[in-house]
Chain A
Amino acid sequence: MNDFGASLATASHLIFNADAALLRIVGLSLAVSGSACVFAALFGLAGGAALAVGRFPGQRIVVLLLNTLLALPSVVVGLVVYLLLSRAGPLGELGLLFTPPAMVIAQTILALPLVAALTRQLVADALRGSGDQLRSMGAGPMTRAALVLVHDRWSLLTLLLTAFGRAISEVGAVMIVGGNIDGVTRVMTTTIALETSKGDLPLALALGIVLLLVVGAINVLIALVQRLSKEGR
């Protein structure tokens, strides 16, 4: 239990002293995972909505595949993206490996199925009660999807915050495609992994506490948002 006490103390020390290195690492984590969320939302919302309203052969299989991708291990995604972006790989010319954009790409791939699958479910459920009215009013399929997403915007926000949580807490993908380069691609989770492997467990734990606080703040946000949505109805 001494480790926990020491770690809490270290965590407070780090936070209150606004340790420059820590701030840079936290900032990069938020930037990478935030960007990944934005891209995942752009493609996932459209894709999930299209899956919900579209009618095409093999639709069931696509949905099954999508739901399976929810369990994509982050380290597998990291490996695949690494092989793609490596100089020896097809996209090597882009020179993206070991840079933050590579990390954004990997985390987008991780978050995308989550956003798409949840959006599909959200839109399909919402249209069950409203589809007739919206069709009667002349709304095409994607317009219907867009309208129910606006209608259920609080659920949508929760969905996006969930995707963000998935991105910011993963370590497997960013470690492999980012290389955990000091000052360039080092984020919170890879720093924790590094300090753990160095045996500096109190520091690793302290960083873990900081990460938990960031993710915790997000969950507080979700709760506040839900409270607001109930009052706003």
Chain B
Amino acid sequence: MSEAGPLIELREASVRYRDVTALDGVSLRVGRGQRIALIGSNGSGKTTLLRTLHGLQRCDAGERIVHADVPQAMVFQRPFLLRLSAWSNMLIALWLAGVPARERIDRARDALRRVGLLEQRTRPARALSGGQQQRLALARAWSVLPQLLFLDEPTASLDPAAKQEVEDLVMEFAAEGMTVVMSTHNLGQAKRLATDVVYLEGGRLIAALPTERFFTERLPDAAARFLKGETTWQ
């Protein structure tokens, strides 16, 4: 993994839900400027790893170290939008982030314009299409000017056109210097977007390599099997 200025680090982190071990002794360092793709089958621990890195989940063992306390944001597979207008959703996000009142309107407008939803701002957020809702979620995240962005399979529920729009936006954010950690099912997406790829299986970090090396070098068997598409759903 590239040694950029570290932001968040997990050391031997484990998370247990009742008798299920969701994360098992994972060590990972997220460096500034990286774009990390987390891959693995369902139940491999991608979501738990993201939540633990972001601070939504506490470790039962090991530790989470915040090297640099930068603004963070997270986008989920299905965005939770309040039953209000898109505009109101934006304002509430800015209010929660502690943005002073006089700045909120400008930043909301800028963010919506950025993702191409300014025209839809008065519509009920839930009346937007799937792709539009995810773009709104991205606008909401971007408006708080995060330096670290987590995304949990952001395009998994979207049609190809919407998928492309979201990917493009994420790439734009990254190009502006945002550090991105994104989980995905889609190996092509990982190849296109990521600087580094991390493979998880059964809560354990099996492999973590820069992208080119990940797809060319000889990998641990489990990871290799996954790439070949032979891994079972367990």
Contact = CB atoms under 8 A, between A and B. Distances in A.
Interface string A114-155: 000000000000000110111111110001000100111100
A55 interface: no
Interface string B87-103: 00000110011100000
A233 interface: yes
A110 to B, nearest CB: 31
B157 to A, nearest CB: 14
A233 B83 contact: yes
Contact of A138 (B83, B84, B98): B98
Contact of B80 (A129, A138, A232, A233): A129
B62 interface: no
A137 to B, nearest CB: 5
Contacts, number: 44
Contacts of B126: 233
B73 A136 contact: yes
Contact of A137 (B51, B83, B96, B124): B96
Interface in A183-233: 232-233
A172 B2 CA distance: 74
Contacts of A135: 56
Query: Considering residues A130, A135, A138, A152, which has the most beta carbons from chain B within 10 angstroms of its beta carbon?
Result: A138
Contacts of B76: 132-133
Interface of B is mostly: mixed
A136 B56 contact: yes
A153 B56 CA distance: 26
Interface string A55-77: 00000000000000000000000
B97 A130 contact: no
A138 B96 contact: yes
Given A132-B76, A147-B82, A233-B124, A138 B97 contact: yes
B74 to A, nearest CB: 4
B124 A133 contact: no
Interface string B58-87: 000000000000001110100110111000
Contact of A134 (B51, B80, B84, B144): B80
Interface of A is mostly: helix
Interface residues of A, number: 18
A147 B92 contact: yes
B15 to A, nearest CB: 14
B96 A139 contact: yes
Contacts of B73: 136-137
Interface residues of B, number: 22
Contact of B93 (A129, A137, A150): A137
Given A133-B74, A136-B56, A143 B96 contact: yes
A137 B143 CA distance: 11
B204 to A, nearest CB: 23
B46 interface: no
Interface string B132-162: 0000000010001000000000000000000
A130 B80 contact: yes
Contacts of A130: 80
B54 interface: yes
A138 B84 CA distance: 19
A137 B73 CA distance: 7
A185 B144 CA distance: 56
A133 B79 contact: yes
Interface in A144-182: 147, 150-153
Contacts of B98: 138
Nearest to A233: B126
Contacts of B144: 137
Contacts of B56: 132, 135-136
Query: Considering residues B76, B80, B126, which has the most beta carbons from chain A within 10 angstroms of its beta carbon?
Result: B80
Interface of A: 129-130, 132-139, 143, 147, 150-153, 232-233
Given A133-B76, A133-B79, A134-B96, 13 more contacts: A132-B80, A133-B74, A133-B80, A135-B56, A136-B56, A136-B74, A137-B96, A137-B97, A138-B96, A151-B82, A151-B83, A232-B124, A233-B83
15 contacts: A130-B80, A132-B76, A133-B79, A135-B56, A136-B72, A137-B93, A138-B97, A138-B98, A147-B82, A147-B92, A150-B84, A152-B83, A153-B83, A232-B124, A233-B126
